[in-house]
A and B are shown apart, each in its own frame.
Chain A
């Protein structure tokens, strides 16, 4: 992969001196974007799991706010829930808690006047067959006006957030890739211009375009590998720094457990580790393509 003719003295001119650094920075940014994207996805997934497992039943107070009648309605609802399948836990929110939740929105004074509904949180058994339609119908029967809220709106919001973060990650990677490719093309073109005489001699002696492009390709491969390793190293240090800043205790105590706790799958780790590899391959292909294009215009 690294061996082959080196008739063109590419390593002796200054045209490629900064390429490892440029590629290093690009790969650093790309790895950070991929890592951040994966972490954001995991956080969003956790929120969704939390929200998806929770359902709230809202029971409006009885007409004229008779507490005894309201209690009857709540008891009827609880009775229905008790015999329904798929529910792990039923928790009635104390009236104080409901008021505390609403107070910042409507104010203490108004709150006193408001007929507040009773809220019951249900934690569902994951993967169970909780039948919204059936239970909703039974609850309406037991206490007319009671409603099940399944947090569909919040779930949608979280899903949208996850998609946006993922898109941003892709956008950063795409911008970095384009900038990296342009740097490689510019560097390679400069190299071709500097060594035009040698390239021309090689052509006249009977070298194929591939023979010449191969020399540029191997040169860029060596530089990109150096850049890739440096970029990956700095990205790893950055991630460790971020974990440390977020939870210094856990990081000091057991860094492996913390990293394992990220919930990254094998594919995720492969994606992270593969980012610099893909970066190097893209750099090499960009070099080859750009040299072949330029050579095609030479005699």
Chain B
């Protein structure tokens, strides 16, 4: 753990509010608003689901967090830094602190499972000896110890997903984003994946899991951010024991008003 913190995270003892959205609106050119006037923050060490139907804007919200998109309106703070004020050369440092499990995995096809998982460490300049030590250990943890040299195309969907998860967490990022991580796996594997995220959460990682699988969300005692037609609302965990992270839209929460009024974009 100390190694990773030195290598990738820098000094994280003070951990500011990890992610903060203030009145963020995002709209692709010529289209409807994907996200409208969204405000919320993710506290360090929290676990949130991001729910909503397909096309509700979950991936866009995640892309805004990992700085692949810039908002049209509003302010996004990532690790206490205003995203607008980040210079290009500062962006990699921020991204190294965010592990992302992409919806379509985005593994590099010609690299083995081992090399795919090793990427974040190589990029951060880790020694090969350390990579050879840690990567197989993590792949074993996700149940892929026998597939170190396998190319992604020779792995099943579930196995590729686990490689993607291992790559997202190998550098122990303080923030883990997962975009529909259970979309391609059966219920049993989906549960195992979420337990894996729970483990990381217990180790101090802030987790945001985007999913449209409400049944799965209901089995865990974590708050949700719900997106519907671009509007963001907060939903308390089913058990109701955990306090809600502030999440609001300037309009009423999406849950209470799931459809947009005509012309509201």
Contacts and interface: CB of A to CB of B under 8 A. Distances in A.
A205 B123 contact: yes
A204 B108 contact: no
B149 interface: no
Contacts of B115: 7
A201 B66 CA distance: 12
A207 B125 CA distance: 10
Contacts of A206: 92-93, 95-96, 120, 123-124
Contact of B119 (A9, A205, A209): A205
Of the candidates B69, B88, B110, the one having the most CB atoms from chain A within 10 angstroms of its own CB is B110
B253 interface: no
B194 interface: no
A277 to B, nearest CB: 29
B227 interface: no
B108 A201 contact: yes
B83 to A, nearest CB: 12
Does more than half of chain A's interface fall in helix, strand or loop, or is it mixed? helix
Contacts of B67: 299
Given A197-B106, A198-B108, 11 more contacts: A5-B123, A7-B115, A201-B106, A201-B108, A205-B120, A205-B167, A206-B92, A206-B124, A208-B92, A209-B88, A299-B67
Q: Which 3 A-B pairs have the closest CB atoms?
A: A206-B96, A206-B95, A206-B92
Of the candidates B68, B106, B111, B123, the one having the most CB atoms from chain A within 10 angstroms of its own CB is B123
Interface string A9-34: 10010000000000000000000000
A197 to B, nearest CB: 8
A22 B120 CA distance: 36
**Contact residue range for chain B?**
20 to 34
A158 interface: no
A170 interface: no
Contacts of A101: none
Contacts of A9: 110
Contacts of B120: 205-206
B127 interface: no
Nearest to A296: B88
A216 to B, nearest CB: 16
B238 interface: no
A202 interface: yes
19 contacts: A5-B122, A7-B115, A7-B119, A197-B106, A202-B119, A203-B92, A203-B95, A204-B68, A204-B106, A205-B95, A205-B96, A205-B119, A206-B96, A206-B120, A207-B92, A208-B89, A209-B88, A296-B88, A299-B67
A28 B122 CA distance: 39
B100 interface: yes
Of the candidates A5, A12, A206, the one having the most CB atoms from chain B within 10 angstroms of its own CB is A206
Contacts of A197: 106
Contacts of A204: 66, 68, 95, 100, 106
A6 B215 CA distance: 42
B171 to A, nearest CB: 8
Nearest to B173: A206
A84 to B, nearest CB: 75
Interface of B: 66-69, 88-89, 92-93, 95-96, 100, 106, 108, 110-111, 115, 119-120, 122-124, 167
A106 B136 CA distance: 97
A192 to B, nearest CB: 15
A16 to B, nearest CB: 16
Contacts of B66: 204
Of the candidates B66, B89, B100, B119, the one having the most CB atoms from chain A within 10 angstroms of its own CB is B119
A75 B68 CA distance: 97
A239 interface: no
B68 A299 contact: yes
A9 B67 CA distance: 26
A196 to B, nearest CB: 12
A211 interface: yes
Interface in A198-231: 198, 201-209, 211
A211 B123 contact: yes
Contacts of B124: 206
B74 to A, nearest CB: 18
Of the candidates B93, B120, B122, the one having the most CB atoms from chain A within 10 angstroms of its own CB is B122
Nearest to B89: A208
Contacts of B100: 204
B123 A207 contact: yes
Of the candidates B89, B93, B106, B108, the one having the most CB atoms from chain A within 10 angstroms of its own CB is B108
A197 B106 CA distance: 8
